[in-house]
Amino acid sequence: MGISVAIAGATGAVGSELLLLLEERSFPVGSLRLLASERSAGREMVFAGERIPVEPLGGDSFRGVDLVFFTAGSERSREFAPAAVRSGAVVVDNSSAFRMREDVPLVVPEINPEALERHRGLVANPNCTTIVVLMAVAPLHREAGAVSLRVASYQAASGAGARAMADLEEQARAVLEGGRAEPGAFPHPLAFNLIPRIGELLDGGETGEERKLREECRKILALPGLRISALCVRVPVPRAHCAACWLETGRRLDPARAREGLAGAPGVVVVDDPAENAYPMPRTAAGTDPVQVGRIRADESSGFGLVFFVAGDQLRKGAALNAIQIAEILFGKGRN
């Protein structure tokens, strides 16, 4: 029997990861439609040993489909997700198109699965940095009450898509060969560089990514007054996002207790033995499911507070894995 699944944006970095994870997690796929732009239509992708043709995404792509993962950008989601819902499918949308709408649950299954109960056919998957940061912040908030959060991010190329990952490699190669790195997907070359702007520029000098982090954290934690400030930076790393976080809490929370709480939190792994060179890193987080938390200590610059470092695979927990976990709950196959 199984579930009839479609992926809109199947050929992108997150789309490919969805395909891998559906198989890896034995999601009960009955049939699978792979949808993408006209440009990619005609290609084939492999799922569970079977070659599946990529079809062009259109208004009639969703007939008989139970579940659609959208990961083709906000514009495509805005254009096609409502049609998918109308045709009876449940949509898990990885874009930012609907995240802040009151009637759309924005869900990290380990944190606010209860929000799924009031969905109306559409569930939003949070921003990748939001997910990675909140996986560490939420358990600490439950323990001691979050008051303010400052986040300096170290975001991988994958957040800007498959082309950006290829660009980083291409640029690094050019520099090592003594040539000129071309910007590609970014406004400046990323190889051996840092780019402290992610997303469009907003009033007040904030970027879209920084605003997403604030608004989404507030919505997911149900803390509309949480004070959050982020500075988001692209780093020359292929696919795991990291962040340095300062979390001020309402009650005292000592680092040992925090470590204990995090060690017991689902989807989190404490990697915190810096004297033995064990701490969260892109290199060890990439390709794995859990979010790593480490370098946990008291923040001496605030009353009650902690500082720590997190790392999570942007394509897995930051995107595809979280989306599939949402679907697992929606279709009663929850593994959490």
Is 241 annotated in the active site?
yes
Q: Which range in 12-20, 71-79, 82-90, 292-300 contacts a copy of itself by CB under 8 A? A: 292-300
The reply to whether 335 sits near a copy of itself by the rule CB under 8 A is no
- Beta-strand ranges (E) seen in 216-322 are 227-231, 240-249, 268-270, 291-298, 305-313
Q: Which is nearer to a copy of itself, 25 or 197 (CB)?
A: 197
Coil vs helix vs strand at 288: coil
Strands 146-154 and 291-298: unpaired
The reply to whether 25 sits near a copy of itself by the rule CB under 8 A is no
According to CB under 8 A, which residues from 155 to 184 bind a copy of itself? 169, 172-173, 176
Q: From residue 10, give the alpha-carbon distance in Å to each of 78, 179, 331.
A: 17, 34, 21
Binding a copy of itself (rule: CB under 8 A), the pick from 196, 250, 266, 287 is 196
The enclosing H or E element of 150 equals strand 146-154
The reply to whether 188 sits near a copy of itself by the rule CB under 8 A is yes
Rounded Cα distance between 280 and 303, Å, is 26
The reply to whether 295 sits near a copy of itself by the rule CB under 8 A is yes
Site track for a copy of itself across 59-78, x = CB under 8 A: --------------------
Q: Per DSSP, what are the bridge partners of residue 147?
A: none
The residues, any chain, with a CB within 8 Å of residue 3's CB and separated by 6 or more, are: 27, 28, 29, 30, 66, 67, 331
According to CB under 8 A, which residues from 305 to 334 bind a copy of itself? 307, 309, 311
Binding a copy of itself (rule: CB under 8 A), the pick from 13, 149, 262, 291 is 149
Is 141 annotated in the active site?
no
Binding a copy of itself (rule: CB under 8 A), the pick from 4, 98, 154, 265 is 154
> Which residues does the annotation mark as catalytic?
128, 241
